[in-house]
Amino acid sequence: NAGVTQTPKFQVLKTGQSMTLQCAQDMNHNSMYWYRQDPGMGLRLIYYSASEGTTDKGEVPNGYNVSRLNKREFSLRLESAAPSQTSVYFCASSPTGQETQYFGPGTRLLVL
Amino acid sequence: QKEVEQDPGPLSVPEGAIVSLNCTYSNSAFQYFMWYRQYSRKGPELLMYTYSSGNKEDGRFTAQVDKSSKYISLFIRDSQPSDSATYLCAMSPLTGANSKLTFGKGITLSVRP
């Protein structure tokens, strides 16, 4: 039981490049989330998916898109990376009816 | 005013000290309260979870919620160097598929041997 896994662990992009961050969970959770964590800003919600087939914007969705591929997988796409998107990105999942969320190990992204 | 405020820290204490970490909030609809621990370069992990007001104890950790004052605390007794981490409070107004957590910014704790 791996919990929440994220790939890649580290990535360096040039401004304007695109990339997709992958997230998968093996806990049969319905809800999944993408956060970014920046110094002094805490964890901020980018997008979430309450259940398979649904996605909704969070606090800071601009510049990102998401896909809930199936119940296990939730990807985050940067279409045209900007230096302001340099951050640590965390995926999380949660069982339906519970508030507790379980986090992955994170992806460190540097945009030059 | 931010919905959730957390002492910015950092906080440094000697081993064996009692540590008190606090958060205040403005949204009276919050019902579910959590503390997460995050080690350096790792993802947050759930440490404590409480519903509504009251205390909850788990080993050396006690979570306390005072809804009348909109104030939550995490107490760590007999602190150990392994407790050195960033602690984030989080809270939610409701349960169900659309519940979202609001996090404090976190406080970094260092326990000196």
Tell me how far apart the alpha carbons of residues A100 and A84 are, in angstroms, rounded to a whole number. 29
More confident: B95 or B97: B95
Supply the DSSP string of B93-107, one letter for each residue: S--STT---EE---E
Is some CB atom of chain B closer than 8 A to the CB atom of A64? no
Q: Give, rounded to a whole angstrom, the gap between the first and last alpha carbons of chain A.
A: 36
Supply the DSSP string of A4-55, one letter for each residue: EEEE-SEEEE-TT--EEEEEEE-S--SEEEEEEEETTTEEEEEEEESSTT--
pLDDT (tens digit per residue) in B22-74: 999 999 989 899 999 999 999 999 999 988 888 999 999 999 999 999 999 99
Q: In chain B, which residue's Cα lies nearest the Cα of A51?
A: B97
Residues 18-37 of A with CB under 8 A from B: 30-31, 33
Could you tell me how far CA B68 lies from the centroid of its own chain?
A: 18
